[in-house]
Structure 1
Amino acid sequence: MTTILVTGGTGTLGRLVSERLRADGHEVRVLSRHAQPYAVDLREGGPGLDVAVAGVDTIVHCASSPRGGDERAAAHLIEAARRAGTGHLVYISIVGVDRVPFGYYRSKLAVERLVAESGLGWTVLRATQFHDLLARLFETLSKVPVMPLPAGVSDQPVEVAEVAERLAELAAGAPAGRVEDLAGPQVRTVESLARAYLAAVGKRRAVVNVPLWGAAYRAFRAGGHTAPDRAVGKGTFEEHLARRAARR
């Protein structure tokens, strides 16, 4: 039986990865800031991290925060994995981190480099944005009568369960380096996705496309965060919205 540690294992992605790995018969440890018995803040490290990693065959690193600290967290995790003799580190990244000069993307790219240079066996999977992230964004934007959207930007969202399934598959296998990206089934304008959200929740809002500025916006407009040639995801945004409405 393989022992696998999932960082961020109580989050949107990490929870599903943990469930899938357990269903496949693996022993799974869940690490997060509050999940006992492996409650660890990776940004701080400490002896609790060594306890969590001890005897682990593979680590699936899902923990991440747009508020910063990902590089420090990854460095602590890599050091602990080296001490423990962990054989495989799997990291989930984002499509376009090397093409879009956005702060959070730059941090994810830096972590990719740390993983690749760690001396450990490693695998990196890049995925496009999750359906759930866009739904939560539109929920926030639609709280006012006029819904502002970035003009000229498209997206290619993917179902998080499909990403979890792929990560679990990679974790059970041998280190593979940078694997092929996992992108959603459709590249669609942000406006079309927003209108699909409004229709699903029964809201009427004026939609305004707002031109922005800067290098990151230009890269998003150019589709740097999409992967049309890797449109292997199956679940559509409308299907996700229907399941979301049923749960509520």
Structure 2
Amino acid sequence: MTTILVTGGTGTLGRLVTERLRADGHEVRVLSRHTQPYAVDLREGGTGLDAALEGVRTVVHCASSPRGGDERAARNLIAAARRAGVDHLAYISIVGVDRVPFGYYRSKLAVERQIEESGLGWSVLRATQFHDLLVTLFQALVKAPVLVIPAGVSDQPVEVAEVADRLAVLALGAPAGRVPDLGGPEVRTLESLARAYLRATGRRRAVARVPLFGKAYRAFRTGGHVTPDRAEGKVTFEEYLSRRFGQVGD
């Protein structure tokens, strides 16, 4: 069986990718900053990264941080993968990184470019936002008496397990380049998603739509981060909320 390295293998997505690959009988090494025996900070690289990649044929690159460092981490990973003779580097990106001038998106796009130019066999899958991310956002916003959301913005949340399934299949195949995007089943207004969250958690808040400014906001408003033509996810936001919090109220 193939030896596969999953970076960020303890994260929301990487953990599920690891489980699926192991369930198929593959040897999977989990690389993260704190998980032995492959505890490596990709931003620093070093001999630990070379050891983690020894004998590895495929890398699934899930490690990422909105706080920065993704481009440096990718450079270190690519250099080490070349030294190790890796055949296939599969990367998870975000729908809209080439259309929305948002800092984190620009960084993800830059990593895509590094991978494309790496000389390695590569595959890139872009997905829409995970259900979990929206809940994290709403959990922060609900702390105020009024839940304030950007006016006119929609989203297309997708179940992370479905993304993990697609990424695992991609990793086990031949390098495929940029593959079709994966979007959640519905494009919904952010207001409707926020109200669904409030119902599911039994909270009562007024929801205020506030217009923002800037190129990134305009791109979000015009749907640069959604892919209605690739709405292949099956799990709706309400289904996710019901599983996580119990029965969604009326």
Q: TM-score, normalised by structure 1?
A: 0.99
SS at match of 2:125: strand
User: Aligned runs of 1:125-164 on 2, under 5 Å?
Assistant: 125-164=125-164
Name the CA distance, whole Å, in 2 between partners of 1:54 and 1:119.
18
User: Aligned runs of 1:15-164 on 2, under 5 Å?
Assistant: 15-164=15-164
Name the CA distance, whole Å, in 2 between partners of 1:192 and 1:245.
17
1:168 equivalent in alignment to 2:168: yes
Number of residue-to-residue matches in the alignment: 246
Name the CA distance, whole Å, in 2 between partners of 1:175 and 1:70.
22
Q: Partner of 2:2 in structure 1?
A: 2
2:104 corresponds to which letter in structure 1? Y
Name the CA distance, whole Å, in 1 between partners of 2:33 and 2:239.
32
In the TM superposition, what whole-angstrom CA distance separates every residue of 1:35-74 from its partner, at most 9, and x where no partner exists? 1000000000000000001100100000000000000000
Report the CA distance between 1:245 and its aligned residue. 1.3
SS at match of 2:16: helix
SS at match of 2:184: coil
Q: Partner of 1:210 in structure 2?
A: 210
Name the CA distance, whole Å, in 1 between partners of 2:244 and 2:133.
12
Name the CA distance, whole Å, in 2 between partners of 1:103 and 1:124.
19
Name the CA distance, whole Å, in 1 between partners of 2:23 and 2:239.
24
Identity of aligned residues (%): 80
Name the CA distance, whole Å, in 1 between partners of 2:99 and 2:122.
22
In the TM superposition, what whole-angstrom CA distance separates every residue of 1:56-105 from its partner, at most 9, and x where no partner exists? 01000000000000000000000000000000000000000000000000
Name the CA distance, whole Å, in 1 between partners of 2:140 and 2:108.
25
SS at match of 2:107: helix
Name the CA distance, whole Å, in 2 between partners of 1:182 and 1:35.
29
Runs ≥4 residues deviating over 3 A? none
Report the CA distance between 1:242 and its aligned residue. 1.1
Unaligned runs of 5+ in 2: none
2:215 corresponds to which letter in structure 1? A
Report the CA distance between 1:188 and its aligned residue. 0.3
2:225 corresponds to which letter in structure 1? H
Report the CA distance between 1:217 and its aligned residue. 0.1
Q: Partner of 2:197 in structure 1?
A: 197
1:182 equivalent in alignment to 2:154: no
Name the CA distance, whole Å, in 1 between partners of 2:204 and 2:110.
41
Name the CA distance, whole Å, in 2 between partners of 1:72 and 1:39.
17
In the TM superposition, what whole-angstrom CA distance separates every residue of 1:119-172 from its partner, at most 9, and x where no partner exists? 000000000000000011101111111000000000000000000000000000
